[in-house]
A and B are shown apart, each in its own frame.
Chain A
Amino acid sequence: MTTEHTSTGLIGKSIRRVEDPILVVGKGCYVDDIQLPGMLHLVFLRTTYPHAKIVSINTDAAKSMAGVVAVVTGEDVKQLNIPAAPMVAGQKIPPHPVLARGAVHEAGVAVAAVVAQSRAVAQDAANAIEVEYESLPSVTDAEKALEPGAPLAREELDSNICYIATKKGGDVDKAFAQAEHICRMHIASPRQVALAIEPRGIVVNPEPMGQGLVIWLSTQAPHRVRGDLATALGYPEHKIRVIAPDVGGGFGSKGPLYREYVLACHLALKLARPIKWVATRSEDFVTTIQGRDQAMTSELALKKDGTMLGLKVRVVANLGAYLYSSTAGPPQRMMAMAPGSYQIQNCHVEVVAVFTNTTPTGPYRGAGRPESVLNIERLIDKAAKELGLDRLALRRKNFIRTDQFPYRTGVGVEYDSGDYTKSLAEAMRLSDYDQLIRERDAARSRGELVGVGVSTFVEPSGGAGFESATVRIERTGEITVLTGSSSHGQGHETSYAQVIADKMHVSMDHVAIRHGDTMAVQQGVGTFGSRSMVMGGGSMALAADRVIQKARRIAAHLVEAAPEDVVQAEGGFAVAGVPEKKVTWRQIAAAAYGGRVPPGMEPGLQETVFFDPRREAWGFGAHVALVRIDRDTGKPTIETLVLVDDCGVVVNPMIVEGQVHGGVAQGLGEALREQMLFGDDGQALTGTLMNYAVMRAGDMPRLILGETVTPNPFNPLGVKGVGEAGTNGAPPAVANAVMDALAPLGIDHIDMPYTAPKLWAAIQRAEGRATSSS
């Protein structure tokens, strides 16, 4: 049995997590658990107007309340803005003040802030602030925002367009001219709320005498946030220490620097007191970046035999009212994988990114991948139906072949490796696909609404810059790894320890993985985009290799052998063929720090690597779903769900499966029930858990997981990411199953989420019974 006490063969083993003993007894430390002497509490007053001029703010009553230490408005902190982060050429970047100045552009923006001795008193004071607004016209739908005469979401600009970006390849006009069939589709990816169960929060402690700022932050990217914070505050970056303690989930939404953090730091410095701010759930709903909200219009050109000739996609992406550092990203990501797993060399993909008076969007588990997969996979099912071809045969015919990797796609992106036919075959085997089809057909003949759907998808992981690792042999021979990754549920302390322990032939209890502290850890990037094992694991593997190289030479010196005759052994090194001539890591460390290294060698034993392979890792998968729709109520039930994912070499299968489970739950939420809705008046209609419906334990179908393993040829560990697999592949499989179920009724298209009322209405309309709703 492989446990954390084994020293080799740890890769591929489901070792129990080392993080868990503390967490299961309630001794974790999340931001809100931190209490500092003299700590004050920050509460915001937020507007309910989606777009309005601020006419006046009266803070007198608030300021005079007992226990209130400070009340500030936008005018008091004019210098505080979220730094602009241009991601795309020609991108319009309207002002993003930390506290609204002059106008508000989304319901939920803060117009004033109160610092008080308790949160309750601060809330009382915030409620006593009087604000007068003059309402301005607002727009919440991105496609509507592009119509002539639409209200300007940002009155400072002359249009609602933030940027237009294009990716293209080949000759799309020629391809379409040669087309024997063109399949057209419009599909919307509904806006999602990340809803990490821990709301966002920060504690700031200003060190005395201006030495610096110590910040505890619920974040996925401590170094990045530190950098942006320094810019926003005009404060020296190297004097800011950002600590990510235990972080209760993120899913992309805890990546950027948020307004509240800037203000908390500013006030902490000004008042020379520690300050805490933690979002309420309602606050978190409207201030944390939301996901998706892309509307895609596509045309796929094919020959009658199913050969795909060309693809045109126009994406209208709703960015919300303000830009955070990552807001511009997801539509870009969508473009980068628009042709999916297929050989479509003639592509033209355009993104029109639009401002509206809604909560800003940004990366949320998938971050553009789910939108892209949804688009191409639905489009292909539709094309198959129109051409009378088998959906799977159409896919197989156009898959990128294994001998074509690395493959440059029609949008100019290179996929490193893959075997899509194998993945699909495994999904078909695991789901007993032919049997599912027979079941569907039998149900159909009885007039029941049952459908089978498949999605075959690629998913890039890694990227977004470098990642860093320091592997340090301590004076005692123990191993410390400092990683720029920032675990918030991913179990890095376990899986990274497996990687290092395996490499260095020690048991895991000799390895400590440290992360989430900008003072302790070298400049890093963070955990998002399924990048950590690829980038964090890759960087530490390389650092470990360097340490091993140096340690080998020290070991050789200690046993008076040639370095080439010294090999790794359990717990250290030994002379090849002479296992008794052994040196332990402890002895090597003692020599390294005790002045007994070979002549000419620098003392010490630690290596730092900044790893940037300059390419992403292309995981892939195939998901299969069988869905039954109750005619009486429209309720969809997923009766079969099979998920085959390929993330290259698997370090800890248990952790990988957990990531797939979680991603699938969020993906099913997206497919069946989650949608962030704004009313015409710009108010959040689904701004609490009372009406934003995440999946519960009783809502989940049984999940059948499978895998293929296609090692990443460009990574020291052969790994790819997997964290977003569930959200990328499951919704399109379900969507295809739902549409398959409704196909006999002639229903052509319905957007997610597939709620019972929506499906019921579609069935009524299709069967000629008028309904008033759409």
Chain B
Amino acid sequence: MAAEIEFAAIPIEVTVNGQKHQATVEPRTLLIYFLREHLGLTGTHVGCDTSQCGACTIQLNGRAVKSCTILAVQANRAEITTIEGLARDGALHPVQEGFREKHGLQCGYCTPGMIMTGVSLLEENPNPTEAEIRHALEGNLCRCTGYVNIVESIRWAAEKMGGKNVSR
């Protein structure tokens, strides 16, 4: 027997930055607005409406995804990490440190998305070349930095995290 279709209030359970949340959402609530408005995690940003800019990037079940293109209901039972969840016990993630060391941000608006993409890249590829870093940033737009120092920031983090042979 097929399940009932729900129009107004769907219960979901999502673990965000290690904390379990239970909520009721409209089907049309986008994951990014669930994070920003229901959970008050405003570090993830909206920069466009065509799924291009990547300012909304988070990790969902370990993968970098655009939270503006996912319905909150699709994240039921998922584990999510946002920018607010990266630092542990006050210690910055090396990618966050890298952005500080290498001037990887100016206005800071694209930065959370950039950092999340950088974190995901280094989890999959601890020794990325410059070309691989730039390729990984295809889904993240910046208008302030020209990307030069964003790439340097991620490279710095890769070296700090023990990657060797981080070549140009």
Contacts and interface: CB of A to CB of B under 8 A. Distances in A.
A197 B109 contact: yes
Nearest to B29: A120
Given A120-B28, A655-B103, A661-B146, A688 B49 contact: yes
A30 B110 CA distance: 12
Interface string A251-264: 10000000000000
Interface residues of B, number: 56
Interface string A12-40: 00101101110111111110110100000
B118 to A, nearest CB: 11
B144 to A, nearest CB: 5
A281 B87 CA distance: 30
A698 B134 contact: yes
B43 A698 contact: no
A248 interface: yes
A655 B115 CA distance: 20
A662 B100 contact: no
Given A26-B44, A658-B145, A665-B146, A697 B110 contact: no
Contacts of A663: 146
B12 interface: no
A697 B48 contact: no
B151 A23 contact: no
Interface residues of A, number: 58
B144 A489 contact: yes
A666 to B, nearest CB: 7
Interface in A690-725: 690, 694-698, 700, 703
Interface centre among B99, B115, B145 (most CB of A within 10 A): B145
A198 B107 contact: yes
Contacts, number: 183
Contacts of A282: 49-50
Nearest to B87: A25
Interface in B10-55: 26, 28, 36-37, 40-50, 52-53, 55
B61 to A, nearest CB: 20
A429 to B, nearest CB: 22
A379 interface: no
A627 interface: no
A233 B147 CA distance: 41
B143 A694 contact: yes
Nearest to B90: A25
Given A661-B148, A662-B144, A665-B147, A246 B92 contact: no
B143 A196 contact: yes
Interface in A410-466: none
Given A281-B50, A698-B134, A247 B105 contact: no
Contact of B96 (A25, A33, A281): A25
Interface string B66-104: 000000000000000011101100001000100111010
Contact of B84 (A25, A120, A195, A280): A25
B84 A26 contact: yes
Contacts of B41: 26
B138 interface: yes
A489 B138 contact: no
B142 A698 contact: no
A694 B46 CA distance: 17
B149 A661 contact: yes
A702 to B, nearest CB: 9
A689 B105 contact: no
Contacts of A655: 103
Contact of B107 (A16, A278, A488, A661): A488
B106 A28 contact: no
Given A25-B83, A197-B141, A700-B148, 17 more contacts: A14-B103, A17-B100, A21-B100, A24-B115, A26-B83, A30-B109, A195-B143, A197-B47, A197-B107, A246-B107, A280-B49, A661-B146, A666-B146, A689-B50, A696-B147, A697-B142, A700-B134
